[in-house]
Structure 1
Amino acid sequence: LDDDVSSFVQIRGSVPLFWEQPGLQVGSHHLRLNRGLEANAPAFDRHMMLLKEQYGKQVIVNLLGSRGGEEVLNRAFKKLLWASSHAEDTPMINFDYHQFAKGGKTEKLENLLRPQLKLHWEDFGIFTKGKNVSPRLQTGAFRMNCLDCLDRTNSVQSFVALEILLAQLESLGLNSKSITERFVESYKAMWTLNGHNLSRVFTGSRALEGKHKVGKLKDGARSVSRTIQSNFFDAVKQEAINLLLLGDFFSEEYADKGKMLMDHTALLVTPSILKAMSERQFEFTSFKKMKSEHCHLKIELF
């Protein structure tokens, strides 16, 4: 058994468009698309091509809601997929998690989402390799997203993985009840730990639970912690990421010119491009004369 291996790959990732969450984020999510659909299309196409090249057939599982800022992002995601060349061979399963399965109601996932997913995971198959098993390949993967790819995505992916686990154990010849129960128990503990660790990386707090009164109290405290973290500390983290990816160019003379001449998103290009854009500013700048009229302010004292 030590030489026998089985796996099932799932993908999680935020909506592959250029978007951001500006301003204070308290309660509902405020979202803004940075580019139109046509400008998003090339990056989206490269993203999907890379996933297909590495993982095979893709099925998008979209867990976004249908209200507020999420609805804007949700609609844009659907339009971008439907207008792309991937629409024919990349199904999208839309499941408003907050509406149908809020609080991690697994019976809702079982009744509403499982039938839609099962057809695809049976088509994908699982990977197995070893001396005592027949070699098999996984031919596709679920690409799953909510807004931040944390609690909702974690809940659905763990649900799918538990379903697949039973097939994996059977493929390895480990289908006795006692062994299955031990694997399931260990699996749940591992996946819970995985969810908490991912949540700490992205939000600074453990994952939300929401299943009972004590869990809801913990969720409330964690939500407050996340709000503080996202509104007051995430910007510094983003600057650090930009520094690692692009280098320290903010102290350069041309960076100051770039800040005055261009939108803030243009500062995310590489330093060499930013320098060239600043030096060639007159090639794409037009000047117009403006007339100004003097305004007289009359102040009356009573």
Structure 2
Amino acid sequence: MSGLFPFRDINVHASPNQYAFSSPSTPSAPTLVIERPNGDIRLHDGPLLGTQRVSSIAGIMGIIQLKLDKYIIVITKAQPMGRLKGHMVYKVIATEFLPLRERPLHDPDEDTYYNILKAMLKSGPMYFSYSLDITNSFQRQAASDLMAPIWQRADDRFFWNRFIQSDLINFRMGKGSGFRLQGQQSPAVDAYILPVIYGMFRITQTQVKSTPFSLTLITRRSRFRAGTRYFSRGIDEQGNVSNYNETEQVVILNDNTDGLGGFAGGGGLENGRVVRDGHEVQILAYVQTRGSVPVYWAEINNLRYTPTLQVRGIDTALNAAKRHFQQQIEIYGKNYLVNLVNQKGREKQVKEAYEQMVERLISHPEGGIQKDSHTSEKLHILAATDKETIFDNLEYVYFDFHNETKGLRWHRAQLLLDQLQEGLMKGGYFRAVDMPGDLQGQLEVRYRQTAVVRTNCMDCLDRTNVVQTMLGRWVLTRQLMELGILKQGESQDDNAAFRDLYRNLWADNADVVSNSYSGTGALKTDFTRTGERTRAGALQDGRNSITRYIKNNFLDGPRQDGFDVFLGAYRPAAYLGGILTFTDRRPMLLQAIPYLFAASLFMVLMALVTRRLPDATVWPLRFFTMFWLAVALWCWQFIYRNGMLFVNWPKLNTPRFAVEGYQKALGSARSDPVVGSFVTRHERGASTARVSHMEEGKKRIQ
């Protein structure tokens, strides 16, 4: 059975010709050998001569090909986060790249690929377990084959390092290059394949009314269409949506946090059933999802605080939306689609596109609109009258979140909960106990969750976090009542210590999801943490909003490139005609304008703080100040008018709207009465090369 799980301890041996990986605790297992410099993989039985042990690692993250070389990414440091049903879960703290060849010279592109990957791995919250499949919810785990290797059981959506594990997986399945014949499988490799999730994991021991239990929150971020806030929106042709996350709230009663729990048994046996201190180990889990509005839409950075919004016709995205919702229904059952975008202003067209899409998908849409004195549309429901197709398992619920809760009236979010309550009751949650005497951790399922609430706002961050927290709290109260811990009319919020713990748990989750997508912590977390909207929280939201603006316009390009390389959405290639991928090929004058703007502001500041001698004339200093102030104002208006020329776009899979917008902005710059002729004169085709390179570099791997 040990071969089903990854090795917990791996020694790395290195030589000029190969890297060798072996488990000191399992000396009978074959050694995994990766040849240098070609990357061929083989298994070796017995002692391996000619190598020197260089380190011990927690696991192999995967193997990735960059422009000139392949690298083995290994986990060098992992932090224990706690035991879930007896299984320890770890957070990836540090990684290292092992190159297959020694490069005598540094290549600028290779160094950039390397650096953006290192930055992504350093900032990305990643978790793994050697003995528990944390890519799957407990409900899916209960239906999986526990005799299959853990990587084969993994949910492909949340197996974050699946692409860079391809070499090992292909070799294991007899599909890759190496010393095995094609079609000859290598099960011994299973122990070297370690699935990792990207998201959030928190586990804490707590109690309500003297009843102890473990409370866990797991958020799994999909590896499909992953990216940053403004560079990844909507849906793709395969039905994957941006910022898709599954969040599972787990309560475990009578869990033994010592030992291996469900993996290797433990505890006592009473009447043939696994028990802890005379009680069954019970698992109660509730799953929610979030994801971008499943139509083709984008917000186009142009240095304005509010980017330009584009929404394409729903007919273009109909097939993609069908793929998306078919998968969601097959996995989760009925989907309650909670839409929180504004019904007025710029967000209105996103709202209307979503509603039109749902109307096209369900057979006989029927619904109602609830209005009140505050808004023209408070709630909007769309549901099928008869179930004729799989898409009739969709029920659309619109809630005008901003209007209903403005003025710090956050209690009005209860209106949405009241509307969803019947569906929450019908959809239920997952509940199971340990199977009698089962050492593999098989669960005896009492009942399953048959519906999911899929929540979105524009970013699927701030408003979504508030609603998901509210739903999680309601379900937890119901679970504790059905367990007999709470009585009718009681709430876990009656316990101040637990209430604060629960709120902070969900607020931490909000920050993690938001940081991954937008680059900052979430907004409105003061309400999540305290139950109140405060002025201090509003000020913090202001700071986060400014930080988001800076990061989304000037720093997210390399972040998006890092995601695309790591996840296989872009595969680096060797030199193409000597072109360097990451070189800035804008005309030099355009590159210089931001520096000129900064220098002019510095000159104005120096002129204002410089002390003038009593007998000195005034006009030279005033002329100096006015000159540099005029330069600063011109630079500012030029940058503001041609903002798309100064956004830090992704350089690998550059969005088409960015290419088109760049060309348009470049045309505007050429017509500038001050520098237009210089841009045209000194450009020498550079901008065309830049744009064509954006297109030629695309290698999307679906």
Normalised by the length of structure 1, the TM-score is: 0.78
**Closer, same or farther: CA 83–59 of 1 in aligned 2, 3 Å:** same
Equivalence for 2:54: none
Partner Cα separation in structure 1 for residue 574 and residue 411 of structure 2:
52
3-state SS of 1:32 partner: strand
Equivalence for 1:70: 347
1:8 aligns with 2:311: no
Aligned partner letter, 1:136: Y
1:50 aligns with 2:336: no
Is the 2:571–2:699 contact (alpha carbons within 8 Å) kept by the matching residues of 1?
no
Displacement after TM superposition at 1:64 (Å): 0.6
Q: 1:9-48: CA deviations, max 9, x gaps?
A: 1111111122211123644453113x43222011110000
Equivalence for 2:515: 200
Gaps of 5+ in 1: 274-302
Is the 1:104–1:155 contact (alpha carbons within 8 Å) kept by the matching residues of 2?
no
**Closer, same or farther: CA 135–215 of 1 in aligned 2, 3 Å:** same
Identity score, percent = 28
1:119 aligns with 2:431: no
**1:230 counterpart (528, 537, 552):** 552
Equivalence for 1:97: 401
Is the 2:290–2:455 contact (alpha carbons within 8 Å) kept by the matching residues of 1?
yes
Q: 1:184-239: CA deviations, max 9, x gaps?
A: 33221210111111111122222123611211111111110011111112223223
Q: 1:143-162: CA deviations, max 9, x gaps?
A: 11001111100001101111
Equivalence for 2:237: none
3-state SS of 1:135 partner: strand
Superposition CA RMSD, Å: 3.2
Aligned partner letter, 1:6: L
Partner Cα separation in structure 1 for residue 697 and residue 406 of structure 2:
39
3-state SS of 1:11 partner: strand
Partner Cα separation in structure 2 for residue 64 and residue 70 of structure 1:
6
Partner Cα separation in structure 1 for residue 431 and residue 395 of structure 2:
26
3-state SS of 1:193 partner: helix
**Closer, same or farther: CA 159–175 of 1 in aligned 2, 3 Å:** same
Partner Cα separation in structure 1 for residue 327 and residue 432 of structure 2:
25
Aligned partner letter, 1:68: G
Partner Cα separation in structure 1 for residue 556 and residue 346 of structure 2:
19
1:151 aligns with 2:473: no
Partner Cα separation in structure 1 for residue 550 and residue 431 of structure 2:
45
Aligned partner letter, 2:449: Q
Is the 1:154–1:195 contact (alpha carbons within 8 Å) kept by the matching residues of 2?
yes
1:270 aligns with 2:694: no
**Closer, same or farther: CA 123–178 of 1 in aligned 2, 3 Å:** closer
Displacement after TM superposition at 1:178 (Å): 9.4
Is the 2:338–2:398 contact (alpha carbons within 8 Å) kept by the matching residues of 1?
yes
Structure 1 or 2: more helix by fraction: 1
Query: Which 10-residue stretch deviates more, 201-210 or 57-66?
Result: 201-210
Partner Cα separation in structure 1 for residue 400 and residue 695 of structure 2:
31
Aligned partner letter, 2:356: K
Partner Cα separation in structure 2 for residue 113 and residue 178 of structure 1:
19
Displacement after TM superposition at 1:172 (Å): 2.5
Q: 1:60-108: CA deviations, max 9, x gaps?
A: 0000112333111111111111112476321111112111124764311
Partner Cα separation in structure 2 for residue 266 and residue 169 of structure 1:
57
Equivalence for 1:298: none
Gaps of 5+ in 2: 1-253, 256-280, 366-383, 385-391, 436-443, 527-532, 582-655, 660-687
Partner Cα separation in structure 2 for residue 218 and residue 118 of structure 1:
32
Equivalence for 1:246: 570
Equivalence for 2:451: 140
**Closer, same or farther: CA 156–105 of 1 in aligned 2, 3 Å:** farther
Equivalence for 2:485: 174
Aligned partner letter, 2:484: G
**Closer, same or farther: CA 266–165 of 1 in aligned 2, 3 Å:** farther
3-state SS of 1:164 partner: helix
**Closer, same or farther: CA 105–73 of 1 in aligned 2, 3 Å:** same
Query: Which 10-residue stretch deviates more, 213-222 or 169-178?
Result: 169-178
Is the 2:300–2:307 contact (alpha carbons within 8 Å) kept by the matching residues of 1?
no
Query: Which 10-residue stretch deviates more, 91-100 or 140-149?
Result: 91-100
Is the 1:63–1:94 contact (alpha carbons within 8 Å) kept by the matching residues of 2?
yes
Equivalence for 2:157: none
Displacement after TM superposition at 1:249 (Å): 4.8
Aligned partner letter, 1:140: A
3-state SS of 1:31 partner: strand
3-state SS of 2:336 partner: strand
Normalised by the length of structure 2, the TM-score is: 0.35
Equivalence for 1:20: 298
Structure 1 or 2: more strand by fraction: 2
**Closer, same or farther: CA 178–22 of 1 in aligned 2, 3 Å:** closer
Partner Cα separation in structure 2 for residue 53 and residue 74 of structure 1:
25
